[in-house]
Structure 1
Amino acid sequence: MRKVKNEDRLKERDAWLETIMDEYGERLTKLAYNYVKDWSVAEDIVQDVFITCFKHYEKIEEIISFKAWIYRLVINQSKDVLKSSAFKRVVMNSSLFSLFTSKDPLPEISLLKRSEEEILSRCVLALPVKYREVITLYYYEDCSIDEINGLLGLNRNTIKTRLNRGRAKLRKMMERWEHDGE
């Protein structure tokens, strides 16, 4: 009887993990990507976060807001990766890095730049982290100021200021991009 109950709990935990992976997987990967700017590293971060969720399944009832908790895990993990010297060496020594820093865009990249969404995405990724994270959470993840406060531990006024400054920087970058692109 006890063995059946444990098997049921394992099946329940597996189903729960699959559900949160389906529900949050893509959004969390995009969130991590906004920090690390490398899709495969972002996927690794989210994989690690799901492993943490799996390990904490028994304590999940104690978590007040699961969404805030899992986003916080991704943000912290992303920041940890950015701080790691191994990540800095790989990105800075990568041949891809030289493509992104090159003054002359490749023809394929020039074609992609014409899309407004692509331009906006590039501009958001070019923002400093402190503006990029609030812009991403507010506009892409539909988090309220209060939710962002809970996720980042920032004062509400600081969040509003960063949103305003981030929007202003985006506006300037978009205007510059349109001017240079035409």
Structure 2
Amino acid sequence: MRKVKNEDHSDGRDAWLEIIMDEYGERLTKLAYNYVKDWNLAEDIVQDVFVTCYRHYEKIDEILSFKAWIYRLVINRAKDVLKSSAFKRVVMNSSLFSRFTSNEPLPEMSVLKRSEEEILSRSVLDLPVKYREVIILYYYEECNIDEIRELLGLNRNTIKTRLSRGRSKLKNMMERWDGDGG
């Protein structure tokens, strides 16, 4: 990750932050969304990560892989949110919870036709987190096994097993969609 050099230290930091926000903002928000399934909450997580980046500006040259570091921050924050009791209370008490747990399609899903990409995306989001995260990192973020290992702190065989089981679960989900006349 390049830094923007500038005589005024704060201007350089601000310009650098704008660059990483432009470069990573949308991808990181999608990554966070894949964990928390709430776009506004995903945006909040990413904003928090950008604040962390801003605070660590002076140490940024010490980070071996900026992409791996920032992805790891997002993943950890999203997992922290999922574990928080406040998040669980809001989701469980929400009137939306019944929609997520019912077999009825979400309102925004009914607007779109049941295209294969839509069904696949929804199926990926329905996977348990341990399979969803490796599928998303591997196929959507185009990370290789070693990058995923670094991001998640898992060994290579665990990642390969989760990819295989995740693909198998997705295949079964897709077949069920087809069987439902989708």
Q: What is the CA distance between 1:129 and its match in structure 2?
A: 0.5
Does the CA-based 8 Å contact 1:113-1:119 persist in structure 2? no
- The 5-angstrom pairing of residues 126-145 of structure 1 reads 126-145=126-145
- The 5-angstrom pairing of residues 73-88 of structure 1 reads 73-88=73-88
SS of equivalent to 2:158: helix
Partner amino acid for 1:13? R
Count of matched residue pairs: 178
Q: Aligned equivalents of 1:149 and 1:106: distance in 2?
A: 34
TM-score, length basis structure 2:
0.92
What residue in structure 2 maps to residue 180 of structure 1?
180
- The 5-angstrom pairing of residues 2-151 of structure 1 reads 8-105=8-105, 109-112=109-112, 114-151=114-151
Q: What is the CA distance between 1:117 and its match in structure 2?
A: 1.3
Structure 2, unpaired ranges of 5+: none
Larger helix proportion, structure 1 or 2?
1
Q: Aligned equivalents of 1:175 and 1:133: distance in 2?
A: 22
- The 5-angstrom pairing of residues 143-162 of structure 1 reads 143-162=143-162
Instruction: Pick closer, same or farther for the CA change 1:105–1:151 going to 2, 3 Å.
Output: closer
TM-score, length basis structure 1:
0.92
Does the CA-based 8 Å contact 1:68-1:150 persist in structure 2? yes
Does the CA-based 8 Å contact 1:131-1:163 persist in structure 2? yes
Q: Aligned equivalents of 1:142 and 1:106: distance in 2?
A: 28
Of residues 126-135 and 105-114 in structure 1, the stretch that sits farther from structure 2 once superposed is 105-114
Percent of paired sites with the same residue: 81
Partner amino acid for 1:30? K
Structure 1, unpaired ranges of 5+: none
